[in-house]
Amino acid sequence: MNIHEYQTKDLLKRYGVPVPPGQVVHTDVQATSVAEEIGGARWVVKAQIHSGGRGKAGGVRVGNSVSEVGVIADEMIGSRLVTQQTGAEGRLVHRVLVEQASTIVREFYLGLVIDRATRRITLIASSEGGVEIEEVAQHTPERIIKEVIDPAVGLLDFQCRKVANKIGLKGALLPQAVKIMKGVYRCMRDHDAVMAEINPLVITDSGQLLALDAKMTFDDNALYRRPEISELRDFDEEDPKEVEATAHGLNYIALDGDVGCIVNGAGLAMATMDAIALHGGRPANFLDVGGGATPKKVANAFHIVLQDPAVKTILINIFAGINRCDWIATGIIQAMRDQNIKMPIIVRLAGTNVEEGRAILNTSKFPFIIAGNLDDAAAKAVAEANKIAGKVVPLRKEQA
């Protein structure tokens, strides 16, 4: 789960990481009064969306008077911001962060990520801050400094000093850098974050280190024990289909193909997507209904999959162990009836109560396309989707 910049800054502040004075606002009137409260002569107004690259996209703008801050906030709030990371449709800006503008002398990158190879949190720093770290990694990998952290002892002072030295921080800046690095590390560890990033970390004209941008990502599987983090979740930033799926206990991930998938078990769901791809098709989603899926849960799964306008056909692939094919079939019939589904539905059922399940489908008035196995199901689903799309696809050799 991701959170907004202002939320990350609030968290980091509690760990002694210096951030500019500022506040999130929802209206232009609030923006002007916050600017007045902060004081000074220059402020930045920053769109709060879950995306980087806002600066280049016009989502970080400087106001030189209190009234200009209001004008900028008014323009930003309610607009759609398109960045390199949002896709062409962009993101609707619901709120902006108004903060003191700093005079930047130098920009650095500071990050903490879980390195899967060493299975440890790794501190990453670079003298090339402000820009995308991926670009630095690609063009000048020698400018990226890494330090692996031993979880038994945590991040130690000497490691911080070593990294700070390598990116060119000296003198009075060294103890500041140590404090910031250790603060971010403790904040990450205390909240089960999987990533924390300050980009840029800057030296200001008064010789202070300051975190101007901050991002944190949290482990979804640990959210149950971090209610203070769960609370920060912003559903506006998430795919509404995925939000609904979570509420119904379904695992759904939207993809960009046209064959909707309803499957039990993550492994079988992956195999189903592979089989669709093997037959030249593209899955519209990953969906795992889990074990012991009730008819209601199956009907909910249809509801979510069908919200994607690209879906041309749905493939249901169930290998029932804990599940019951009769419940699945009952759910399918409920969905067909209540959601008035007209598109071709391909069903492959196997396992517990399969005879009862097939009987329910066969005696219904709906023209299901029944498949005998996974490969057959995928082939039929892709053929139906292509028929609707008007595509002619030659059969694979073994099918011909």
Residue 51 interacts with Mg ion (CB under 5 A): yes or no: no
Angle between helices 266-278 and 374-389 (to 10 degrees): 50
The reply on whether position 272 binds Mg ion by CB under 5 A is no
Active site residue 197: yes
Contacting residue, 102, 300, 323, 352, with ligand ADP by CB under 6 A: 102
> Could you say which of 6, 109, 185, 252 is catalytic?
109
Q: How is the chain split among helix, strand and coil, in percent rounded to 5? A: 40, 25, 35
Contact call for residue 320 and ligand ADP (CB under 6 A) = no
Which of the ranges 63-71, 96-104, 238-246, 327-335 carries the binding residues for ligand ADP, by CB under 6 A? 96-104
Pairing of strands 193-204, 209-211: antiparallel
User: CA quadruple 198, 200, 202, 204: dihedral positive or negative?
Assistant: negative
Residue pair 367/361 in contact (Cβ under 8 Å)? The answer is no
* Shortest distance (Å) from residue 206 CB to ligand ADP: 13
Quick check: 377 and 314 in contact, CB under 8 A? no
User: Which of these ranges, 85-93, 188-196, 211-219, 327-335, lies near Mg ion under the rule CB under 5 A?
Assistant: 211-219
Q: How far is CA 230 from CA 153, 187, 226, 253, 367, in A?
A: 28, 15, 6, 20, 44
109 is catalytic: yes
The number of CA neighbours under 13 Å toward the Cβ of 152 is: 0
Q: Which is nearer to ligand ADP, 18 or 351 (CB)?
A: 18
Span from 49-57, 221-229, 268-276, 363-371 in contact with ligand ADP (CB under 6 A): 49-57
**Least Cβ distance, residue 23 to ligand ADP (angstroms):** 12
* Residue bearing tokens 């598109």: 343
CB atoms within 10 A of CB 225: 9
- Please report how close the Cβ of residue 52 comes to Mg ion at its closest, in angstroms: 6
* Nearer Cβ to Mg ion (199/272): 199
**Cβ neighbour number for residue 343 with a 10 Å cutoff:** 13
Which listed residue (126, 199, 317, 323) binds Mg ion by CB under 5 A? 199
Question: Applying CB under 5 A, which residues contact Mg ion?
Answer: 199, 213
Question: Applying CB under 6 A, which residues contact ligand ADP?
Answer: 20, 44, 46, 52-55, 60, 99, 101-102, 104, 107, 130, 199-200, 212-213
Query: Which residues are designated catalytic?
Result: 109, 197
